[in-house]
Each structure stands twice: as structure tokens, then as C-alpha cells.
Amino acid sequence: MIVIALGANLPSPAGPPRATLEAALARLGEVEVAVVRRSSWYRTAPVPASDQPWFVNGVAVVETARGPEALLALLLATERAFGRRRGARWAARTLDLDLIDHHGAVRAGPEPPILPHPRLGERAFVLAPLAEVAPGWRHPLSGLSAAALLARLPDPEPITRLE
């Protein structure tokens, strides 16, 4: 299973954050990354807490023949196409596409992508939609489901399903 997390809290050339996420998924479909399942969209607080706009987040399970490096390069190019400019860490953004899992691969780096995503188990904005869209998924290192990881969070950030 290949899992991608999506998020945005600024408008892009495609429109407001939710429209941007929909357009990004459509764009991936045009370059041989088939969306198999997509979670609902969620309204989430910025992490770490700040005064920037809240995010719209979701998760997609995709299929592609691309390996992890090629897929990550495509995700970064897609971010740029939607106006993403990398600057300060955790800054507001038009589009954020993270490779969460690539068929259970475990890669520590130093070259990206690090798999599974290193902060996956700390983020309700990834775990809640992942539990929705792929309840059978298991973390490649811990073996825990997304729901179990979500339940272990000591103080998860606020998250509300939009649809």
C-alpha cells in the first residue's frame, strides 16, 4: 500500500485549500499515480500551534509503478506547481504532499524519502484520515494500526471531519 498525506492552509492557483487538494489529486492521476481511495477532508489546527490559518488535511491510498524516490520527486514538483515555496519549517502553505508509506518500506535515510514518514505516529491530522481510509494498514515498524496510534496520542490537536 502506498499512502500520501495531503494538506493546505493557503489558497493556490487552484483556489482555496480544499479545491487545491482535489486538484492535486487530479493532477497526480494524470501522471500515472492512481488514487485508489481517499479519506474525507478534515479541518485541523496548525502543528505546532500558531496564528496561521487552519489546515484542510486528508490521506490518499495510491497505486503507481514509481519507486519511493521518483514518487517523492513527483510530489515535490506537484507542490511547486500549486505555488508551494519552501521557507520556514511549519509555515503556512498552499500544498503539502507527504509520502507516508510505500509498501511497508523502512528507510532511515540519510537520503530521502525516510520511510515510514518519521512523524506519522505523532500527527492526528494524518492518523485520523488514515484510520478512515485504510483501517487494515499497519505501521511498518510498530505493527500498530492508525487507530491504535491515534488512541495513544497524549493530547491530539483539534480535528474535525468536513464531509
Q: Do the Cβ atoms of 120 and 127 come closer than 8 Å?
A: yes
Known catalytic residues are 84, 93, 96, 98
- Cut 0.85: pTM above it: yes
- Which of 112, 83, 91 has its CA nearest to residue 15? 83
| Ranges of each domain in the chain | 2-161
Q: Assign domain 2-161 to its CATH architecture.
A: 2-Layer Sandwich (3.30)
121 φ/ψ angles, rounded to the nearest 5 degrees: -75, 0
Per-residue pLDDT tens listing for the chain (163 residues): 999 999 999 999 999 999 999 999 999 999 999 999 999 999 999 887 888 999 999 999 999 999 999 999 999 999 999 998 877 777 789 999 999 999 999 999 788 999 999 999 999 999 999 999 999 999 999 999 999 999 999 887 889 999 6
